[in-house]
Structure 1
Amino acid sequence: MLFDRLKRFAIVLEGAERGAPAAFSPGQAVAGRVLLELAAAAKLGALRLRAIGAARVHWTESRSAGSSTAYTQSYSDQVEFLSHRDTLLAPPDNGEVTVLQAGRHEFPFTFQLPETLATSFEGKHGSVRYWVKAKLHRPWSTVKKVKKEFTVIEPIDINTPALLAPQAGAKEKLARAWYCNRGQVSVTAKIDRKGYTPGEVIPIFAEIDNCTSRAVVPKAAIIQTQTFIARGTKKQKKSVVTSIVGDSIAAGKREVWHGRALKIPPVGPSILQCRIIQVEYSLKVCVDIPGTSKLLLELPLVIGTIPLHPFGSRTSSVSSQYSINLDWLSTIPEQPEAPPEYSSVVSSPEAEQSLAPPCPSELGGVLEGPFFAYIQEFRFRPPPLYSEIDPNPPSDNIRPRCMTC
């Protein structure tokens, strides 16, 4: 039997470390080889290779149809990004088989990745996977298969005007208990930009006014939202990536965060361009109010792969100045405790409400304010046109100075 003589059948990708999948970028060439090691001479038919990349989603929902009848509805969809086929060892044209002698044989291959690919991802209801599969054929025998997965990382450069723009917002909430007004709680928060990379520290600038009769507790967290889409239906899963808890604010007092640090742990980048899978992030500043639901303020985030260029933008000046004195960062553990569940940061009613897309009117006040308008005007205003005519000619009433006087 052939498979009794087959000592090794494997795929090796160039650039891959031992035991770890290789990582590539869209548009890059993938090269490797199929290793075939035989203990004795064997007859082979063909050796074929296929590279595959696809996004898949699948989930089921139970629905009730009356008092006693229930049924299950399934949702699934798939998007193919990559499909490459190659024949590394073809059988002779005369119909005979190829005989390989005992020993080690290598069959190199290479193929080009498309320019547009989604980042590799593993989620609860879907995934984005890439792999190379080799099939070894022999006449009158079963097919031997081997598969090698590899990782694709879509580059997201945070050094773009959209991701370098500051993000700010404000919200307020009237605390009620037993139909009585207990006062108002308001929060205003700002971060210096929208795009960050894992390992960076987000300085949070916030003001929390507690005009109620009881103490409140402010919190901040990075939330990851996985959205799976199939047949026009969406399925979302939210989780807390990391969080911090502020000091309790007494009744009638105000708390100010002068760049409160929130470090981003190792997480996957945002996925925004896939039709059926999206991975989004947001910074949520919430205030626990006793006797009523939380006050929640959300600022959008994009987790990229290309870090901020040093002194590359005017909008990064806040973070540059803030990073001058970071001695206290040594107190932050490199391996923090597991983050809390999403439900512990956001209450159930507000969690259900947050699943709906944000209303454009909620962001209009922030994006249409005078500060944002000034940034846009400063960034995109063209230089004045060149002219040979002096726009401010000297006045005729001014006498020229006599050099002989």
Structure 2
Amino acid sequence: MGLKSCEIILDNNWGAYYVGQTVTGRVEFDLDSPKKVRGVSILFKGDANTSWFIEETHTSNEGKQENEQIEVSGHEEYFKIEYYLIGGQGDEVEIPSGHHSYPFTCILPPTLPSSFEGDFGYVRYIIQVTFDRPWKFDQVTKKAFTILSPLDLNSNPRLKEPAKLTLEKYFCCFCCKSGPLTCIVSIPRTGFVSGQLLPVVMEVDNISNIEITNVQLLLRKIVTYHTQTPRKEIRKDIKVITEIKVGSITPHGSNTYNQPITIPPIPPSNLTNCNLIDLDYELYVELNISGFHTNLSGKVPITIGTTPLAPAATAPTPINTGDTVTPPNKDISSEGPAMGWLHNGNIYPALPTFAESQFGTNSIKEKGDNEYMMFSDNRQQYSPMYPVYSYSNN
């Protein structure tokens, strides 16, 4: 039989690293008999892929309209390091039976984008061990690990500025034009980290004869995927992270709502150095209007970081010591890699918990490869922020 088992063991049990850090660990395998190989290599690599199908209509030679499914895709490679633990590309070597252990090390480049798993693309980092067997199929073992690219909110001064969203709508009833429905939404800043409160103040003034059934506040994630082959395509995917509804407003009524939103464990807004996937967040406000009138809505861009804005005496503090991402003084191994924030005595795990909540403990299987595990999600740097937003729906 030869190879009984092969395992890639990371010294960092949570498998989560910041860019520029060093990945260390060991490869352990057991042989029940001597095994001849050209070599045993280890590969560290990171890449991004996007893919989906689009439908196109063509005219056949007979003049008939035919639909065709075409796959569009994109690929980027960020780094690739490979070396041999045993042997090489020369003569065969024989590995004796028994248990074997080989240490490995790899310094991560400082410009890597964060790990990300989405419906139409991903950014993945893996370690692959290959037994190069002469005249036989290679035996391959893989293990995924998570990369987090930090985002300091203080690097963009605009994120400290308050933002105001103004919404206005007039209703036409037969020959008359009623008074306006106005909604002013204010937030003190546009930069936040997981675990913080996003304070939202809404002033709704309904000088009309129409009832507003409710007001929705949505924290949304917008992922934009790009392809390159056979041509450039763009696809947006919007997901609601948090949804809050507040009460109705009667005709000629008004109300002021102070509604904080807790930022859940979500990845930061920095898929920097990734050209295939962008990730943005926004506060989306929608006033649901009774009858056959269209709703009134608008949005404010939000940036999620890993280092809170200063000064912030009560803001979450990053947990990061030494050369690897280390856990706080609490066993949260069941929650995945110990990336998180400490706030008022509570621990808010960030990247891994979000990914597991969105995708579960993902089991990713590539074509022709062994199965391996992946627990992460992330994306793009912040977009320019504008402090005041105004929408008018007439």
Counterpart check, 1:36 vs 2:11: no
Q: Which has the higher helix share?
A: 1
Contact kept? 1:271, 1:277, Cα under 8 Å: no
**In the alignment, what sits opposite 1:388?**
none
**In the alignment, what sits opposite 1:11?**
8
Aligned partner letter, 2:65: S
Is the partner of 1:256 in helix, strand or coil? Answer: strand
Q: Residues 87 and 24 (structure 1 numbering): CA distance in 2 closer, same or farther, change over 3 Å? A: same
Contact kept? 1:165, 1:193, Cα under 8 Å: yes
1:84-111 Cα deviation digits (max 9, x unpaired)? 1111111596x3x323333221111111
Q: In 2, distance between residues paired with 1:304 and 1:278?
A: 15
Displacement of 1:272 in angstroms is: 4.5
**In the alignment, what sits opposite 1:140?**
135
Which of 75, 80, 103 is residue 78 of structure 1 equivalent to?
A: 75
Which of 148, 155, 158 is residue 153 of structure 2 equivalent to?
A: 158
Q: Residues 137 and 365 (structure 1 numbering): CA distance in 2 closer, same or farther, change over 3 Å? A: closer
Aligned residues with identical type, % of pairs: 28
Aligned partner letter, 1:82: F
Displacement of 1:179 in angstroms is: 7.2
Q: Bigger CA drift: 84-93 or 294-303?
A: 84-93
Q: Which has the higher strand share?
A: 2
Is the partner of 2:171 in helix, strand or coil? Answer: strand
Report the TM-score, using the length of structure 2 for normalisation: 0.73
**In the alignment, what sits opposite 1:111?**
106
5+ residue gaps in structure 1? 314-325, 327-334, 340-359, 368-405
Q: In 1, distance between residues paired with 2:48 and 2:80?
A: 13
**In the alignment, what sits opposite 2:275?**
275
1:323-361 Cα deviation digits (max 9, x unpaired)? xxx9xxxxxxxx9xx99xxxxxxxxxxxxxxxxxxxx9x
Displacement of 1:137 in angstroms is: 2.1
Contact kept? 2:39, 2:89, Cα under 8 Å: no
Q: In 2, distance between residues paired with 1:130 and 1:199?
A: 27
Q: Residues 113 and 123 (structure 1 numbering): CA distance in 2 closer, same or farther, change over 3 Å? A: same
Counterpart check, 1:202 vs 2:195: no
Counterpart check, 1:187 vs 2:183: yes
Q: Residues 204 and 139 (structure 1 numbering): CA distance in 2 closer, same or farther, change over 3 Å? A: same
Structure whose CA Rg is larger: 1
What is the RMSD of the two structures over their aligned residues, measured on CA atoms? 2.9
Q: Residues 128 and 91 (structure 1 numbering): CA distance in 2 closer, same or farther, change over 3 Å? A: closer
**In the alignment, what sits opposite 1:122?**
117
5+ residue gaps in structure 2? 315-343, 345-353, 359-383
Contact kept? 1:82, 1:114, Cα under 8 Å: yes
Displacement of 1:261 in angstroms is: 1.3
Superposition pairs of residues 149-298 of structure 1, within 5 angstroms: 149-160=144-155, 161-176=157-172, 181-216=177-212, 217-231=214-228, 232-258=232-258, 260-273=259-272, 274-290=274-290, 291-298=292-299
Displacement of 1:310 in angstroms is: 5.8
Aligned partner letter, 1:6: L
Is the partner of 1:69 in helix, strand or coil? Answer: strand
Displacement of 1:76 in angstroms is: 1.1
Q: In 1, distance between residues paired with 2:41 and 2:50?
A: 28
Q: Bigger CA drift: 120-129 or 153-162?
A: 153-162
1:346-401 Cα deviation digits (max 9, x unpaired)? xxxxxxxxxxxxxx9x958669xxxxxxxxxxxxxxxxxxxxxxxxxxxxxxxxxx
Is the partner of 1:124 in helix, strand or coil? Answer: coil
Which of 39, 43, 52 is residue 50 of structure 1 equivalent to?
A: 43
Contact kept? 1:176, 1:292, Cα under 8 Å: no
Contact kept? 1:131, 1:148, Cα under 8 Å: yes
Q: How many residues align?
A: 315
**In the alignment, what sits opposite 2:320?**
none
Is the partner of 2:158 in helix, strand or coil? Answer: helix
**In the alignment, what sits opposite 1:355?**
none
1:160-194 Cα deviation digits (max 9, x unpaired)? 42322222221211234667634321111111111
Contact kept? 1:92, 1:98, Cα under 8 Å: no
